[in-house]
């Protein structure tokens, strides 16, 4: 009994199987989620996942286990994994342990909070649905985001996903006085470095915090990095009373890391090899993203769909949490129509008359109808030419093409590449422009005059120049952005 009291917070390693470590404790048994440390300079970090009996615990190593051996002394810290919070973490980049990885000194005057936090209670949530305005015409008009909601961003490489996220961060910081938290789950280190440099060059890092769990890190670290980033986001929402834009790339990697952890622990897999606790684990993360009286965390999450199978269990569970889906189109990107959002494939639960209002809903429905009719006429135009269409169909094609070009927009994030000054457009100006195009007020204005502008009034300034360019080179319509801008997107 005296031995137990002499070493109440230490144990010894009795088994190592990859990242799974069993530890024997003679004193007090650590609770689940407690952090254990061992090895040289206590560099090996283990999170307790199970209590096997009154003496043994089983944990998952959050770091590589190189150098770990049976019989090594293990110290129970008595606390779960924690993340730093405070004003000094702004504009910094961290790993899952809260250590700075941007080659700068560790931030001072920070508090540390557990990453295992409960979602806000229903009594603290706001039940009224509000639209989160981004200043991007195509999103605000056709795919409005929910304040305190979650939107999925679907798109492959090179279609402008990162540029779109960077632009949203810029608009959130510059015009809504909010905060942005970027969480990279299973990211390549190259992507993290490029995004960090790009945000620094674009001037949006001053109100951004970045948290990364890289692809080469153990599954335990990748599984917890989402909770660490969300803990920082909750601090700015609940303590600083600021609206937070929470960006996740990629939410599928969170599920994948959980599946690896479950497999390492020897748990029985469920459908298609996914862990049986996937729904609970994902909900524990997603339900913390909410709109409360203190502020709102609005999330945009890149979603990878395995083998493009929308019935995959991971995709099904993620879709259940989303209030909007933004689909990026490679075809639109190749035509220079940025942001390359597929306006017919994308959808939002906010696009209803009860939430968006009768006018907004009516305009959005008219735009969708016009674009759908244009899609049906494209084959006829390609085979027979525009002259073979009826006058009504020719008007429809003209409206649709002008709407497509009006819904493009120069971004602040790409100013240095495109040479075009970034524009942020209010919802009122965007709706006004779409209404006037639908009323055929601009049927005599060249399509190129509506390309890459802000509010519709700018078309009058660009129309004379567009007419001259069209006469000189009719094949130049629709216009293309510069090669540098296409490469940046």
The single residue listed with the structure tokens 């508090």 is 111
Q: Which residues contact 51 (CB under 8 A, 6 or more apart)?
A: 29, 31, 32, 57, 58
User: Which among 161, 237, 242, 402 is annotated as catalytic?
Assistant: 161
> Hey, what are 282's tokens?
């994902």
Is 161 designated active site? yes
Is 399 designated active site? no
Cα separation, 288 vs 281, whole angstroms: 12
The 8-class DSSP code of residue 421 comes to P
- Residue 116 phi/psi, 5-degree rounding, is -95, 85
Cα separation, 61 vs 15, whole angstroms: 12
> Hey, what are 163's tokens?
């540029």
- Residue 243 phi/psi, 5-degree rounding, is -75, 140
User: Which among 70, 87, 188, 293 is annotated as catalytic?
Assistant: 188
- What b/e readout covers 400-410, taking b as 16+ CB neighbours within 10 angstroms? bbbbbbbbbbb
Contact 11, 24 (CB under 8 A): yes
Cα separation, 158 vs 152, whole angstroms: 17
Cα separation, 245 vs 260, whole angstroms: 29
Alpha-carbon distances of 461 from 38, 175, 283, 357, rounded to whole Å: 68, 26, 50, 31
Cα separation, 105 vs 36, whole angstroms: 25
The single residue listed with the structure tokens 């100006």 is 429
The single residue listed with the structure tokens 């509010």 is 455
Q: Work out the angle between the directed axes of helices 219-238 and 251-264 (0-180°, nearest 10).
A: 130
User: Which among 47, 167, 187, 217 is annotated as catalytic?
Assistant: 187
Q: Which residues contact 13 (CB under 8 A, 6 or more apart)?
A: 21, 22, 23, 38, 68, 69, 70, 71, 72, 74
Is 460 designated active site? no
Cα separation, 107 vs 86, whole angstroms: 9
The closest alpha carbon to 143, from 286, 292, 328, 336, belongs to 328
- Active site amino acids: 161, 187-188
């Amino acid at each position: 009994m005296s031995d137990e009291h002499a070493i109440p917070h230490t144990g010894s390693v009795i088994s190592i199987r990859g990242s799974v470590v069993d530890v024997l404790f003679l004193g007090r048994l650590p609770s689940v989620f407690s952090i254990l440390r061992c090895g040289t300079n206590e560099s090996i970090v283990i999170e307790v996942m199970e209590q096997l009996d009154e003496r043994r615990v089983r944990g998952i190593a959050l770091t590589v286990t190189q150098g770990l051996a049976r019989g090594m002394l293990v110290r129970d810290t008595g606390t779960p994994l924690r993340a730093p919070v405070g004003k000094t973490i702004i504009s910094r980049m961290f790993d899952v342990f809260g250590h700075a990885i941007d080659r700068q000194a560790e931030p001072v005057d920070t508090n540390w909070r557990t990453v295992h936090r409960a979602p806000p209670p229903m009594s603290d949530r706001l039940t009224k649905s509000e639209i989160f305005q981004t200043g991007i015409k195509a999103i605000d008009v056709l795919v409005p985001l929910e304040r305190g909601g979650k939107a999925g961003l679907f798109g492959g490489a090179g279609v402008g996903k990162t540029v779109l996220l960077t632009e949203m961060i810029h608009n959130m910081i510059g015009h809504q006085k909010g905060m942005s938290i970027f969480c990279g789950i299973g990211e390549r280190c190259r992507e993290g470095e490029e995004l960090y440099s790009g945000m620094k060059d674009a001037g949006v890092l001053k109100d951004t915090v970045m948290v990364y769990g890289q692809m080469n890190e153990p599954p335990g670290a990748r599984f917890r990095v989402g909770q660490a980033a969300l803990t920082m986001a909750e601090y700015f929402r609940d303590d600083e009373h600021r609206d937070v834009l929470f960006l996740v790339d990629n939410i599928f990697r969170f599920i994948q890391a959980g599946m690896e952890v479950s497999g390492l622990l020897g748990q029985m897999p469920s459908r298609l090899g996914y862990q049986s606790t996937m729904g609970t684990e994902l909900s524990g993360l997603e339900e913390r993203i909410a709109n409360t009286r203190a502020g709102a965390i609005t999330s945009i999450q890149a979603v990878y769909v395995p083998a493009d199978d929308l019935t995959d269990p991971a995709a099904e569970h993620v879709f259940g949490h989303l209030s909007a889906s933004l689909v990026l189109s490679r075809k639109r990107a190749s035509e220079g129509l940025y942001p390359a959002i597929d306006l017919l494939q994308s959808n939002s639960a906010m696009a209803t008359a009860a939430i968006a209002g009768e006018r907004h809903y009516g305009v959005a429905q008219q735009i969708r109808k016009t674009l759908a009719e244009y899609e049906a006429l494209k084959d006829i135009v390609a085979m027979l030419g525009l002259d073979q269409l009826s006058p009504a169909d020719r008007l429809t094609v003209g409206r649709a093409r002008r709407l497509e070009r009006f819904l493009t927009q120069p971004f602040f994030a790409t100013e240095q590449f495109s040479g075009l000054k970034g524009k942020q457009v209010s919802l009122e100006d965007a709706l006004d422009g779409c209404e006037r195009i639908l009323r055929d007020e601009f049927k005599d204005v060249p399509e190129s005059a509506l390309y890459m502008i802000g509010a519709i009034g700018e078309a009058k300034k660009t129309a004379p120049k567009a007419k001259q360019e069209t006469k000189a080179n009719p094949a130049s319509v629709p216009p293309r952005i510069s090669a540098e801008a296409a490469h940046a997107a």
